[in-house]
Amino acid sequence: MLLVEPARSTLFTDSRYTFQAQEQVTGAKIHIAKHGLLLAAAQALKKRRGRLHVAYAPSQVTVGQKAALEKLTGTGVRWVSGGDAVERLRAVKDASELATMRDAAKLISQVFRETVPKIKTGLSELQVAAEIEYGIKLKGGSGPAFETIVASGPRSAWAHARPSGKLLGKNELVVLDQGAILRGYCSDLTRTVFLGRAPEKVRRLYEAVLEAQQAAKDAAGPGVKAGEVDAAARLSLKRHRLAEYFTHSTGHGLGIEVHEMPRLARDEEIELEEGMVITIEPGIYLEGLGGIRIEDDVVVTSNGAEDLTSASREFLEL
């Protein structure tokens, strides 16, 4: 828990993290709490003079935690909702954060490139996911940013399928959705490959998704509403009569967490700003045939959006 005051900041943690906090925390005093973080924070607040107004992040604090804090601090503290102030601060990345996110995106692109030659019929989805997560750690990532998705054949039509023991089969689509955490920041990359020579129909579907992704990228820029980027992808798919198969939103903010502000979804009014990092990931899902999703990470620049992801978007037939 972090307590931010005009003149100082205090990080409350416990004795398991004593050494780690000393090595990693800068810019805040470290407080090792003996009997829980809530009690330690409440006691610190009670030492301050006067009647305090303390803002909390309502998306991070549970109802139970807030009730405990209120009880512990009593009438001396008035707790007020901080709204989405923290999320908004985090949505726009500074130069140092962008450098890290560039590295995180490069890392997962490299892992994907090195995974491609290993994707073969007869391997299970879990084996391929294991290879990917192994690669992330070997390249110095602290781990996957989320449970790696490897979904093949009919299972690729599940946008968020967990990898299973199912073996990859001939003439199947395989959706691979993977991300790495590097120095505390996430990357997120999806590619779809075909095992064998793809029928013309599948190839056309892939091109349509790629076109929609490019349309969304082209639409992104400072001052553009998040919903407009989503609409660009949808409109592009509509031209191919595929909009109904695009069953999720176009993307999301990316940073310390894999899902941050802004959401790139229908009618989202929030305006993109220079320095925001977002994913652009339209996909279509046809029961029986499978799914196709293509996802890159981009940073909003002064006049558009720039790819952080370097993996090729060419349709791979393996």
Binding map of a second copy across residues 47-66, x = CB under 8 A, - = no contact? ---------x-xxxxxxx-x
Task: Give the C-alpha separation, 266 to 170, whole Å.
Answer: 36
The yes or no reply on residue 183 touching a second copy (CB under 8 A) is no
Binding residue for a second copy, selected from 114, 158, 271, 304, defined by CB under 8 A: 158
* Interacting residue with a second copy among 8, 48, 88, 160 (CB under 8 A): 160
Cα distance between residue 122 and residue 141, in whole Å: 28
If the CB atoms of residues 161 and 219 are measured against a second copy, the closer one turns out to be 161
From candidates 54, 126, 167, 258, binder to a second copy by CB under 8 A: 126
Regarding 312 and contact with a second copy (CB under 8 A), the answer is no
Q: Contact 273/302 with Cβ under 8 angstroms? A: no
Among 33, 130, 167, 286, binds a second copy (CB under 8 A): 130
DSSP, residue by residue, 145-203: SSPPEEEEGGGGGSTTPPP-SPBP-TT-EEEEEE-EEETTEE--EEEEEESSSPPHHHH
Residue 278 half-sphere exposure toward CB, CA atoms < 13 A: 36
Helices 226-239, 200-219: crossing angle, 10 deg rounding: 150
d(CA 205, CA 40): 56
> In this complex, which beta carbon is closest to a second copy, that of residue 112 or of residue 299?
112
Interface with a second copy in residues 239-278 (CB under 8 A): 247-248
Nearer to a second copy, 82 or 222 (CB): 82
> Is residue 77 a contact point for a second copy (CB under 8 A)?
no
Contacting residue, 134, 196, 207, 306, with a second copy by CB under 8 A: 134
Contact pick of 73, 109, 115, 127 for a second copy (by CB under 8 A)? 127
Q: How far apart are the first and last CA of the chain?
A: 48
d(Cα 290, Cα 173) in Å, to the nearest integer? 6
Closest distance between a second copy and the C-beta of residue 64, in Å?
4
Identify the residue whose tokens are 């993977």: 178
Contact string (CB under 8 A) for a second copy, positions 83-122, x = contact:
----------------------------------------
* Gap between the Cα atoms of 265 and 284, Å rounded: 15
Residue 175 C-beta: closest distance to a second copy, Å: 12
- Binding-site size for a second copy (CB under 8 A) equals 44
Q: Sign of the C-alpha dihedral, residues 285, 289, 290, 293?
A: negative
Interface residues toward a second copy, by CB under 8 A = 14-20, 56, 58-64, 66-67, 81, 126-127, 129-131, 133-134, 136-138, 140, 142-144, 147, 157-163, 165, 247-248, 287
